[in-house]
Structure 1
């Protein structure tokens, strides 16, 4: 679909700071982050409701840290749960357990140690509820975008009901088939990961135990795999079933019942309900760029993943988290507009790496492990990462790395980081500090702590070390990059 010109639109009916197109996890995360920074946002969603399916159900540890910062980790943990151990079936008999993930124990610096299972529809409900609590942003459902134009001062969009929206910036979070991306003429380079289509559905099977993720390998007759994963906090299972290339899975109740009966020991009648169903062809694709003027691409609009490894939703949330504080700094913090150039510079390479990882896991070339948890992602090569120390050991924390958690007074470092501000962390040092705007930069001093070593660490609002030094030389200059006049 191509968006029409808005040159002849009627008078602007709605004004906002940021127009967000799409109310999926990406758009809602961004809206929450903007709201707590005092940035007005309007989220427009062409559908009449939030997405109803479980599709992206794995919340990786790094995304759990983001949810902690946004104030929703408690709600996410209450609604979700751990992944069950896989159980392989053959000819109606249990063959043995299959563990999908390495067993990792939580540590002081990384308190979230394993993926949290949370159906995507529930994640969106939690984000939407948080957005209403924060205020300052709203979601309009049944509001399709039909026109988009931009000039030096902002973006003008037309909605299907004839209204126009004027915003300083717009963000396309409208999925893999993004109409905004197409209208901007931004290409997407990709490949088919697997020619075999996959059926995914949320089903109810009251007779099947919920103790395991039930796995049914491909059959000798050529039928692909089928899996039934109990969805935490719900009575549903997520069904995934692979079909031969060139076929079209039947997403109806009868079609789902038929495939379950054909590939498992269950009967068709044991599938009592199909609550949502879809089919897709696994592919990997990356937008050629993540920005066109005042319009940014985020989430599936910028990168499309195989579901293997659970990277798509998580990478999308990271996009929003990276962009949110930068838009806030420019629109409310007086930061130079050039700060927004770092969004693509930081996120595109990370998305490319996650695409490669998802593809390798899908093809069985790599196992789910530390990389899928996303705690090792960082921005060392970014222009916003300034490391002034020299002679550091290989394992040392550097500018651009994720800022670890740990003890901080009566609380923890993540408590100190939480919120829209930057945090200057003085670790095991009495180094003198220049005068700082206490609203923009919170100062915390702690004893020497192994994950940091010793020194000064300026932690960005998204939890990454932006600047590091033995003393404060150059700190004020760095802060001016993100807060003019600080």
Structure 2
């Protein structure tokens, strides 16, 4: 609980202190920095973590990264997933697709997963954060935090022996499964033992394999082993499930796994650049917010790696939280807006926990076409919605239960504007602002901080139907209405009614492109 005896500092060190320099923390920091919110990231390690780890970027994550200005760099750094190549007894058994496209998936300009080593994703996000004016400090560890009514005080220790006290309006724990922030708050993780096998993941260099396939030796026992070529490198990511709880991941034991489970000799592994042993867990934090401190990513929910959801769901946490913190800090929206973060993201995380567990248990089997189709239907995250959120208001008199509703991700379809130009919707939405779409009707006057577009024709107009649609900065429909009567009252939730007190979002942020690749 906040301690009212603490004195409010004249000026907080930063607006938001983000603890953890992984993909979740860096995504959040980029989103805040482009809004002009003073943001600082601290990372315990002396440098951003190595290892390919979460290498799969799903469609919804790629949309988020496009909005944040790092899509070009990630596309250049990665590649589409290669086909799977099955091996038995040293012979190729044919290739197949791990993920079959879903013909009924929501339309996205990113129709397939993109393969990028996690360390490279982090580097690109770091460069974008610095370009936007945010700051990152490695070798800095949170040792304690204390809350007051108006700020958070954090003690930070450095690996060089120094220490200091920082103050922030808000603090976000994105510091992983063993979160210091979560433990400091005393928030429990609720989970269950689902009997998931432990595993080894490593980045290795291997001779004797082509780099056009994701190679799999599926037989069990002793257990499947996979080697996936990592684009932009000479490395493969190795994955192998382990029977039993005790295993020490070293270059020698990794080479032993390759020799035992494939037709390759141990010396075919010419280098083990990074390796890790892990026990998959499924757990969900009891709450995502306590006062001025919030949890995101693995600090809030732990996923087995099935389906490659962990990194992606953490990025979506950040994308949901970033604009809400921005509205509270920069636009004086009520602090209660932040309660909607847990209300929207905790159910989404719970649903993905079940999905990840099912896919991890199923493994990757060439004969299981149903699993390939299932992965294609559910892994893209494009269908996640917030229809039950108090921020989702559908006031239209006529709407189809099967159609697009408030709370849904708005479809990225082509739209025709009064001047006759035709652009896809997400090109109009890009940026840290709200967007009001007036579909086949006249747009009303709105406050600053909202972009307005009139849509007169095209697939988007046919999909949405006539009306006003207020699109949140994370591309979900907040308000759907037949007319402007409810607009003013709805906007007041986000601090957008009183324009005199509003700081223009993103005014000081640099241009969109240019993240160093």
Structure 2 CA distance, aligned partners of 1:388 and 1:36? 32
1:413 aligned onto 2:425: yes
**SS at the partner of 2:273?**
strand
Deviations 1:239-281 (A, max 9, x none): 0011112331x32211111110111111111111111100111
Which of 426, 438, 444 is the matching residue for 2:453?
444
How far off its partner does 1:407 sit?
Answer: 2.6
Q: Which residue of 2 aligns with 1:348?
A: 346
Deviations 1:120-164 (A, max 9, x none): 1011011001111111x2010000111110010110000113200
**SS at the partner of 1:344?**
helix
How far off its partner does 1:405 sit?
Answer: 1.3
Structure 2 CA distance, aligned partners of 1:456 and 1:305? 38
Structure 1 CA distance, aligned partners of 2:397 and 2:10? 54
**What is the correspondence of 1:243-258 to structure 2 with a 5 Å cutoff?**
243-248=242-247, 250-258=248-256
**SS at the partner of 1:473?**
helix
**Which consecutive unaligned segments of at least 5 residues does structure 2 have?**
363-369, 416-420, 499-517
Q: Which residue of 1 aligns with 2:384?
A: 377
**SS at the partner of 2:197?**
coil
Q: Does the 8 A contact of 1:106 with 1:112 survive in 2?
A: no
**SS at the partner of 2:305?**
coil
Q: Which residue of 2 aligns with 1:234?
A: 233
Which of 32, 39, 42 is the matching residue for 2:40?
42
Deviations 1:287-308 (A, max 9, x none): 0100111000000000010101
**SS at the partner of 1:327?**
helix
Deviations 1:33-58 (A, max 9, x none): 00010000111101001111111011
Structure 2 CA distance, aligned partners of 1:461 and 1:204? 42
Q: Which residue of 2 aligns with 1:171?
A: 172
Which of 459, 463, 486 is the matching residue for 2:475?
463
How far off its partner does 1:338 sit?
Answer: 1.0
Greater length-normalized contact order (CA 8 Å, ≥ 6 residues apart): 2
**SS at the partner of 2:49?**
coil
Q: Does the 8 A contact of 2:190 with 2:283 survive in 1?
A: yes
Structure 1 CA distance, aligned partners of 2:67 and 2:104? 18
Structure 1 ranges of 4+ moved more than 6 A: 11-14, 105-108
Q: Which residue of 2 aligns with 1:398?
A: 405
Q: Which residue of 2 aligns with 1:148?
A: 145
Structure 2 CA distance, aligned partners of 1:208 and 1:432? 59
How far off its partner does 1:470 sit?
Answer: 1.6
Q: Which residue of 1 aligns with 2:92?
A: 94
Q: Does the 8 A contact of 2:85 with 2:214 survive in 1?
A: yes
Structure 1-normalised TM-score? 0.93
Q: Does the 8 A contact of 2:171 with 2:294 survive in 1?
A: yes
Structure 2 CA distance, aligned partners of 1:452 and 1:127? 34
Structure 2 CA distance, aligned partners of 1:372 and 1:74? 22
Deviations 1:289-346 (A, max 9, x none): 0011100000000001010111110000000111100000010012111111111011
Structure 2-normalised TM-score? 0.88
Structure 2 CA distance, aligned partners of 1:194 and 1:204? 31
Change (3 A) 1:158 1:14: farther
Q: Does the 8 A contact of 1:226 with 1:263 survive in 2?
A: yes
1:123 aligned onto 2:134: no
Q: Comparing 255-264 with 96-105, which one deviates more in the overlay?
A: 96-105
**SS at the partner of 2:119?**
helix
Structure 2 CA distance, aligned partners of 1:286 and 1:86? 32
Q: Which residue of 1 aligns with 2:293?
A: 295
Change (3 A) 1:231 1:282: same
Change (3 A) 1:308 1:195: closer
Q: Comparing 391-400 with 418-427, which one deviates more in the overlay?
A: 391-400
What is the alpha-carbon root mean square deviation over aligned residues? 2.1
Which of 264, 267, 272 is the matching residue for 1:266?
264
Change (3 A) 1:233 1:192: farther
Q: Does the 8 A contact of 1:104 with 1:114 survive in 2?
A: no
Q: Which residue of 2 aligns with 1:431?
A: 442
